[in-house]
């Protein structure tokens, strides 16, 4: 518990986590309000559509998670931590727990906030969570944010530099996974196993999302169920985190 308290204090001792948290809430909720305000009979508002901006919040949360570890290397506080706790795995796991919990809470707040503001703007539209798919569309956002934070922490442990870690996360999530479809014949097959597309599949049940439609003319055929997709994304994120912890234990601080 002491390590958890220490990591919580360290996380919120700088301004960047506060700004990232606010931005991760503002982007999905703001985009949902714009979509709701401009929806009509030709562009009907749905529960899934209110969550369109979740990707932007996810990117911000991953930046927050990467900063949580890379700023310690930048300012040298990681050395003091490892001197106080020789077992390096313990504080790293504590940091992962704190950041993951924060990411999950922010994800749920952003998702239900986006749904709530859409209801306020369009009270005549039925936006009730009446099916398991609709519950997954909304409540699942927090789970995806939590997994994304784990992945970003692992990347931060491996890279150590903020610019490098953030660049890798942004390029991979926003560009690389979509460009894979340009590979002839096998591009779409590969894309079905890429982590962020699999996360999309969990939230949307395989329905095309704006990012998926931009990926190319061919539809992606997923081989996992929505909940299997979440387990896959969580497994990839956990694997990257474990690799980061192992490498950190072997490197000089």
Distance CA 62, CA 103 (A): 9
Nearest alpha-carbon partner for 55 in 228, 182, 175, 183: 175
Q: Which residue has the higher pLDDT, 101 or 1?
A: 101
With a cut of 90, say whether residue 208 has pLDDT above it.
no
Greatest mean pLDDT among 71-80, 128-137, 215-224, 240-249 lies in 240-249
Confidence of residue 188 (pLDDT cuts 50, 70, 90): confident
Crossing angle of helices 77-84 and 54-75, rounded to 10°: 80
Alpha-helical regions (H) of the chain: 2-11, 15-37, 47-50, 54-75, 77-84, 89-121, 132-159, 162-171, 177-179, 187-191, 195-204, 210-214, 226-250
Q: Of 133-147, 180-194, 206-220, which gets the smallest average pLDDT? A: 206-220
Chain-wide mean pLDDT for the chain?
90
Mean pLDDT of all residues in 179-202:
89
Q: What is the pLDDT of residues 74-116, one digit of tens each?
A: 888 899 888 888 899 999 999 999 999 999 999 999 999 999 9
In the chain, where the domains are located: 2-173+239-250
Sign of CA dihedral 61, 62, 68, 72: negative
Mean per-residue pLDDT, 12-38: 93
| Cα 229–chain centre separation | 14
What does the pLDDT read at residue 39? 87
Instruction: Name the pLDDT band for 239 (thresholds 50, 70, 90).
Output: very high
The whole-number pLDDT of residue 218 equals 61
Predicted pLDDT at 217:
47
Q: Does residue 139 have a pLDDT over 80?
A: yes
| Cα 236-203-171 angle, rounded to 5 deg | 50
Distance of CA 169 to the CA centre of its chain: 10
What pLDDT is attached to residue 219? 72
Q: Is the pTM above the cut of 0.85? A: yes
How much is the pLDDT for 221? 83
């Amino acid at each position: 518990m002491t390590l958890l308290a220490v990591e919580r204090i360290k996380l919120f001792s700088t301004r960047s986590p506060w700004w990232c948290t606010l931005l991760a809430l503002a982007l999905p909720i703001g985009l949902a309000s714009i979509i709701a305000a401009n929806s009509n009979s030709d562009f009907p508002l749905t529960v899934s559509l209110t969550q369109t901006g979740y990707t932007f919040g996810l990117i911000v949360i991953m930046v927050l998670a990467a900063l949580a570890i890379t700023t310690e290397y930048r300012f040298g506080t990681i050395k003091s931590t490892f001197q106080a706790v020789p077992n390096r795995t313990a504080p790293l796991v504590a940091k992962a727990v704190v950041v993951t919990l924060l990411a999950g809470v922010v994800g749920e707040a952003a998702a239900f906030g986006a749904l709530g503001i859409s209801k306020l703007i369009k009270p005549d539209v039925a936006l009730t969570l009446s099916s398991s798919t609709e519950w997954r569309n909304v409540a699942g956002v927090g789970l995806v944010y939590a997994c994304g934070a784990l992945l970003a922490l692992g990347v931060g442990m491996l890279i150590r530099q903020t610019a490098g870690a953030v660049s890798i996360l942004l390029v991979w999530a926003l560009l690389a996974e979509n460009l894979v479809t340009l590979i002839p014949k096998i591009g779409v097959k590969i894309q079905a196993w890429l982590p962020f597309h699999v996360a999309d599949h969990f939230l949307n049940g395989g329905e095309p999302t704006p990012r998926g439609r931009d990926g190319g003319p061919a539809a992606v055929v997923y081989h996992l169920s929505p909940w299997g997709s979440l387990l896959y994304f969580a497994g990839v994120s956990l694997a990257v985190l474990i690799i980061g912890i192992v490498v950190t234990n072997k490197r000089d601080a």
